Amino acid sequence: MTMRFTNVALIGKYQSPDVAESVLLIARYLRERGLEVWIEQGTASSIGQAEGFPVAAYEEIAAKCDLAVVVGGDGTMLTTARRLAERSVPLVGVNLGRLGFLTDIARKDALLRLGEILDGSFREESRFMLDAEVLRGGQRVFHTLALNDVVVNKGDLGRMIEFDLSIDGEFVYTQRSDGMIISTPTGSTAYALSANGPILHPSVGGIALVPLCPHALTARPVTLPDSCCIEIELLPPHDARVHFDGQARFDARAGDRVRLTRSPLAVRLLHPKSYSYFAMLREKLHWSAAPRHN
């Protein structure tokens, strides 16, 4: 299916000294190609100038734009994905960050690769999200989406927390630990990876449960089908902090239940035709690198 782009939004990393030059360079290039270009409101404020380009809030971008170019790092992409997921706006990432698992186009190649994508030469990929809610006394007190992960942890406490884990209504275990990471395949190369979780290929329909410093040595990461309903209930007297993609946060109380399911919404990522998931892993994780010698 051929995809036609007419209205393109530019979303940049906030408070970044590098972002203004890149955003305006890309904006001018897109305008030269005859496209209507919008700059996201916070990005326009951050760069201090918009050169006459229309400025739009996320809600307007979701309604009007058929492509969003994210200039920054994975954090910027996560924010954008969560804000635009409901309208399935395709996303392209230009990397100004450190790792760039989601923003895969190098800044030096940005115009070339964007030109290819606009000409119809790209790979489209769908990434599923988690629907996350916190229940208190059976009533929902918090709800959001997560593309990477949901993390239940001890917050500022110096001691472990204790919680019950249930899958599809079946009790699995009670765990004492610093917490739990519930990760999508997208998030498997983020925080979950540093906690010895598995790397899940983006096409795998799985959700990884990765314990954080469990008290029992037998508590291991587990990968579940993405059709599961996962529930974590905090046991008294333990409160906890729940993080969603490292961006939203909720302070949960003892007795609260965190419920996670696969969201019906998905994030659409457009990659250059040359994109390879395994080449990206080789580069970012330094696979096959020669040993370092003193």
Q: Are 177 and 214 in contact (CB under 8 A)?
A: yes
User: What structural domains and CATH numbers belong to the chain?
Assistant: 5-120+272-283 (3.40.50.10330), 128-263 (2.60.200.30)
What confidence tens digit (pLDDT) does each residue in 179-222 have?
A: 999 999 999 999 999 999 999 999 999 999 999 999 988 899 99
The pLDDT value recorded for residue 64 is: 94
Q: Are 19 and 71 in contact (CB under 8 A)?
A: yes
Residue 160 pLDDT exceeds 70: yes
| Residue from 18, 74, 168, 256 carrying the catalytic annotation | 74
The pLDDT value recorded for residue 166 is: 98
18 labelled catalytic: no
Nearest to 7 by CA among 80, 71, 65: 65
Q: At what angle do helices 19-32 and 110-118 cross, to 10 degrees?
A: 40
Nearest to 151 by CA among 209, 101, 79: 209
Binding-site annotation: residue ranges? 74-75, 148-149, 159, 176, 178, 189-194, 247
The pLDDT value recorded for residue 50 is: 67
Phi, psi of 113 (to 5 degrees): -70, -40
Supply the pTM of this predicted model.
0.93
What confidence tens digit (pLDDT) does each residue in 11-34 have?
A: 998 777 778 889 999 999 999 999
